[in-house]
Amino acid sequence: MILKSGKEILEKAKQNGYAVGAFNFSNLEQLKAILLACEEMKSDVIVQTSPSAIKYMGIDVVVPMVESIAKNLSISVCLNLDHGKDFDLVKQCIDMGYTNVMIDASDLPFEQNVELTKKCVDYAHEHNVSVEAELGSLKGVEDEVVAKESVYTNPKLAKEFVEKTGVDSLAVSIGTSHGAYKFKGESHLDIERLKEIKSQIDIPFVLHGASSVSDELKSMFIASGGEIGNAKGVSNQNLIESIKNGICKVNVDTDLRIAFTTGIRECLKDKTIFNPRDYLLKGMDMIKEEVKRKVGILNMK
């Protein structure tokens, strides 16, 4: 098998005290930039597609596209379904060759979340695919994920949830949110809650909504002609603290969207350019630099 399971990659990270970047993509250019950046950093990686990205690309092309690039790399690559909301999509992705799937039933009552998650786990494990689930929920808007308020993960319920479902990794809600506008002031994560969850459960944890929306990235976006207002993401220090306390997978989407768009905007300032390869390559270069920055942080100990 060309692609590795999420469990294999995340257990290695858990044992060695670092986190793996999980980067969303919705086209070939984004995917290539992510994988080539991680190859340069010699870092295993999880690439993932949301349901809306699957609709955009067409599921038939996703796995062959990832495998065609991954087969020439020295690093381990996992393909993950991000925020799958129903069994049918989870099953479809498994059948097509995804090696990790996320079933996000966090908006359902606890017992219904358990029931749907367990159904997905049973099918996935029959096919040697690992499963991520979520308990608690993040506020914000990103693709199909829409929530007005955050519900923090309850440590005791998390233990019961993992025991009843057999999931391989758990997305926890400790203060992040989806989208670019995560915090009004300084970023803050509930590390004490994470420590309590870790004391109850011995599986890898996942941090969603973990883009940093750094001042440097914002400045470049604005200089290219964009407007991003008071966007604020997760600080590097918060990320490092969370990794020290059990986070093994860090989801990043917004930062790459900003970087890709910045590169394209900057290139198109030259009004003589009309070849898509010119501006798409510039967008790819920006994603590569952002991925390498993020991977460097995730590997800090």
Provide the total of helices (H) and of strands (E) in the chain, helices listed first.
12, 10
In angstroms, the CA 185 to CA 126 distance is 46
User: Which CATH number characterizes residue 10's domain?
Assistant: 3.20.20.70
Task: Indicate whether 267 belongs to any domain.
Answer: yes
pLDDT at 56 over 80: yes
In a domain, 262, yes or no: yes
Q: Is residue 277 predicted with pLDDT exceeding 90?
A: yes
The answer to whether residue 1 is domain-embedded is no
Report, as an integer, the average pLDDT of 26-51.
98
Q: In whole angstroms, what is the distance from residue 11 CA to residue 267 CA?
A: 41
**DSSP string over 120-136:** HHHHHHHTT-EEEEEES
In the predicted structure, residue 68 carries a pLDDT above the cut 70: yes
Query: Is pLDDT above 50 for 72?
Result: yes
pLDDT in tens, 236-276: 999 999 999 999 999 999 999 999 999 999 999 999 999 99
- What is the structure's pLDDT at 169? 98
Read off the pLDDT of residues 139-151 as tens digits, 9 standing for 90 and up.
Answer: 544 455 444 345 8
Lowest-pLDDT choice from 86-90, 158-162, 226-230, 290-294:
226-230
Q: Residue 89 above 50 pLDDT? A: yes
Domain count of the chain? 1
Q: Work out the average pLDDT over 279-300.
A: 96
Give catalytic residue positions. 82
C-alpha distances in Å from residue 266, one per residue of 34, 58, 59, 262: 20, 29, 31, 6
pTM assigned to the model: 0.93
DSSP 8-state symbol, 46 = E
**Per-residue pLDDT reduced to its tens digit, 157-177:** 999 999 999 999 999 999 887
Closest CA to 83 of 127, 114, 122, 53: 53
Q: What gap in Å lies between CA 75 and CA 10, rounded to an integer?
A: 14
pLDDT at residue 141, as a whole number: 43
pLDDT, averaged across the chain:
92
Residues 109-141 have pLDDT tens digits of 999 999 999 999 999 999 999 999 999 876 544
Q: What is the pLDDT of residue 231?
A: 75
User: Is residue 214 one of the residues assigned to a domain?
Assistant: yes
Q: Residue 270 is part of which domain span?
A: 6-298
- The C-alpha atoms of residue 54 and residue 83 are separated, in whole angstroms, by 12
- Would you say residue 224 has pLDDT above 80? yes
- What's the CA gap between 85 and 228, in Å, rounded? 29
Helix (H/G/I), strand (E/B), else coil: 154: coil
